[in-house]
Amino acid sequence: MAVRLLPSPLCPLLGRCAVMPLRPDNIICFRREFAAGLNNPREGRALHHRYVLILALGAGATVYVDDRTIRLEAGEGLLIFPFQFHDYSHPARENINWLFFTFDLIDAGSQQLLRYRPFRATDSVRRLAAELIEAYLQPAEEDLTSLLLALLLARVRQAPATHLSSNAAPSPPGLMMQVNHLVQRRNEIRTVHAIAQSLGISESHLRARFRASCGVSVCQHLRRLRLERASGLLRLTTNSVTEISDRCGFSSIYSFSRSFHDAFGVSPRSYRTLGFQIPMHTARDPFRRRSGLGAVKPFHVSRLAGNSNGKV
């Protein structure tokens, strides 16, 4: 046992000081038993301000994150960061059994190595996930739930990567996250002037700060947000191209079709037909260089612990 390796302390009053980041907060745990519930609600690619920790237990599926295509197999996991576009397709079967832990986290520096990095759900990861679910289901255990999730994230950082992305993007600058949050939470904010007003700065100052910190103009970034949402609506809804153009804030169907073709290399109608065959990272995206919860079903946590081979 490791306990036999413990040395005598040089000073019994001076020990290791923890460097503990702020703990996860506002935690939600839920399960998706069937693949049909992954893209729910069907409002296009998901975009929000929370982290999403995924553990794929029963079967694999493809996760589209920003311009990446990541295949998650059974027994693997992935951490999605705030304001990363994401949706799901190509499940291995309808019964998937995936766990989701969504949360807020102010200090995200320690998580950056997990960006676009699928990991193996080791035995220790599964055991901690089981303990976390047990605490989450108990009333008045918010502190324990937060501590267990922080420990789970630490174990995930230690878990071996299943495959690495060779073109991982830098973390989104703080100003970009503020802009994304405004656009996502308040659909009426669609112009640079409206965003500047909401942030309490001048329009010229916003333009200068955004380009300096993010490497693209704020107008280019807003256009990408609209196009990302449009691509999800094309794949996940039956709305007409004209309706999608209006919902995403384009001035005309012509403007929408031209912008979409410039970004993806095909027309919106062709993308609807071939969308799942056109990975986001191969589309002609001019910005790439820079840049729903349902009911919670009962889940027996004993099915998690001690089983890292992907079987449930």
Q: Are residues 156 and 178 in the same domain?
A: no
The 3-state DSSP class for residue 102 equals strand
Instruction: Answer yes or no: is 102 within a domain.
Output: yes
Structural domain ending residue among the three candidates 108, 143, 168? 168
Give phi and psi for 254, each to the nearest 5: -65, -45
Q: Are residues 90 and 179 in the same domain?
A: no
Kindly give, in sequence order, each residue whose CB lies less than 8 Å from that of residue 170, ignoring residues fewer than 6 positions away: none
CATH number at residue 261: 1.10.10.60
Answer whether 211's CB lies under 8 Å from 217's CB.
yes
Q: Residues 20-33: what's their mean pLDDT?
A: 85
Q: Which pLDDT score is estimated for 26?
A: 87
Instruction: Answer yes or no: is 10 within a domain.
Output: no
Q: Residues 134-158: what's their mean pLDDT?
A: 92
Where is mean pLDDT largest: 26-30, 52-56, 159-163? 52-56
Answer whether 304's CB lies under 8 Å from 127's CB.
yes
- Statement: the pTM of the whole predicted model exceeds 0.75: no
Q: Which pLDDT score is estimated for 284?
A: 39
Instruction: Answer yes or no: is 207 within a domain.
Output: yes
Domain with 73, as residue range(s), is: 25-168
Look at residues 4, 56, 10, 48 and name the one whose alpha carbon lies nearest to residue 26.
48
Q: Which pLDDT score is estimated for 55?
A: 97
Q: Encode pLDDT of 256-312 as tens digits.
A: 999 999 888 889 999 888 754 444 434 433 333 323 333 334 444 444 544 444 333
Q: Which pLDDT score is estimated for 298?
A: 43
Stronger pLDDT, 255 or 179, i.e. the higher one: 255
Where is mean pLDDT largest: 20-29, 143-152, 185-194, 286-295? 143-152
> How many whole angstroms separate alpha carbon 39 and alpha carbon 45?
8
Q: Are residues 202 and 123 in the same domain?
A: no
Q: Which two tokens stand for residue 285?
A: 């995206």
Q: Are residues 154 and 251 in the same domain?
A: no
Q: Which pLDDT score is estimated for 40?
A: 62
220-232 as b/e, with b when 16 or more CB fall inside 10 Å? bbbbbbbbbbbbb
Q: Are residues 43 and 156 in the same domain?
A: yes
Q: Are residues 90 and 155 in the same domain?
A: yes
Q: What percent of the chain has pLDDT over 90?
A: 34
Total domains, the chain:
2
Q: Encode pLDDT of 71-115 as tens digits.
A: 999 999 999 988 787 889 899 999 999 999 999 887 667 788 898
Q: What is the band of 44 on the pLDDT scale with cuts at 50, 70, 90?
A: low
Q: Are residues 30 and 87 in the same domain?
A: yes
Instruction: Answer yes or no: is 303 within a domain.
Output: no
User: Cα angle at 140 between 134 and 144, to 5 degrees?
Assistant: 55
Q: Are residues 29 and 105 in the same domain?
A: yes
CATH number at residue 33: 2.60.120.280
Q: Encode pLDDT of 177-190 as tens digits.
A: 778 777 766 566 67
Instruction: Answer yes or no: is 87 within a domain.
Output: yes
